[in-house]
Amino acid sequence: MSQLPSELKYTESHEWVRLEGEIAFVGITDFAQSELGDIVYVSLPEPGRILRKGDSFGAVESVKTASDLYSPISGEVLEANELATNQTELVNTDPYGKGYLLKVKLSDPSEVGSLISAEQYAKLLP
């Protein structure tokens, strides 16, 4: 069974968001990493890039497939997690912790309301 921390918000495209004031941490869910299998490459945007909600902000590549990443919220990229790009296995082993992908400064905090809860996300999983 996938881990689904209840304090996080989720998207239907299997990203998660953790809010700390106006700062959002973004990553992919435990279900997503388990479906992808061993992740071997993570491509992330440079800090400073302005993302709109729904934009493709990068890609994860596993031995099985490559998958686009979609921004759950709008804002400016403050940091792309170098630990995740250098040690891609962290996205598999600690997707909600050390394996986060982006730190974003929210430009429209009201968007957070359109994200789904852990309970709602769990219902989408097979």
Partner 1 sequence: MNQEFAGIKKRVPSPKLVFEKSSPGRVGCNLPSITTPEVDLNQELGETRSELHLPELSELEVVRHFTNLSHINYGIETGFYPLGSCTMKYNPKINERVAGLSGFTQLHPMQPVSTYPGAIEVMVQVQEFLAELTGFDAISLQPVAGAHGEMTCLMLMKAYHAAKGQGSRRIILVPDSAHGTNPASAARCGYEVKAVPTDANGNSDVAALKGILDGLGSEIAGLMLTNPSTLGLFETQIEEICQLIHNIGGLVFCDGANMNAMVGTTRPGDHGFDCMHLNLHKTFSTPHGGGGPGCGAIGVKQELVPFLPSPIVCRNSNGMAQLDFERPESIGRVSPYFGQFLMEVRALAYLLSYGKEHIHLISECAVLNANYVQEKLKKVLPPAFDRPCTHECVLTAEKYKKEFGVRALDISKRLIDYGFHPPTNYFPLIVPEAMMIEPTETECKETLDKFCEALILICEEASVQPDLLHQAPTSQIVGRLDETLAVKQLNVRWKPST
- Chain residues that interact with partner 1, rule: CB under 8 A: 35, 38, 40-41, 63-65, 88-89, 126
Helix %, strand %, coil % for the chain, to 5? 25, 35, 40
Give least dist CB 40 to partner 1, A.
4
Cβ distance 96 to 81 under 8 Å? no
Q: Which is nearer to partner 1, 41 or 114 (CB)?
A: 41
The nearer residue to partner 1, 16 or 70, going by C-beta atoms, is: 70
DSSP character for 48?
A: T
Quote the least distance from Cβ 41 to partner 1, whole Å: 8
The C-alpha atoms of residue 76 and residue 121 are separated, in whole angstroms, by 25
Between 21 and 126, CB nearer to partner 1:
126
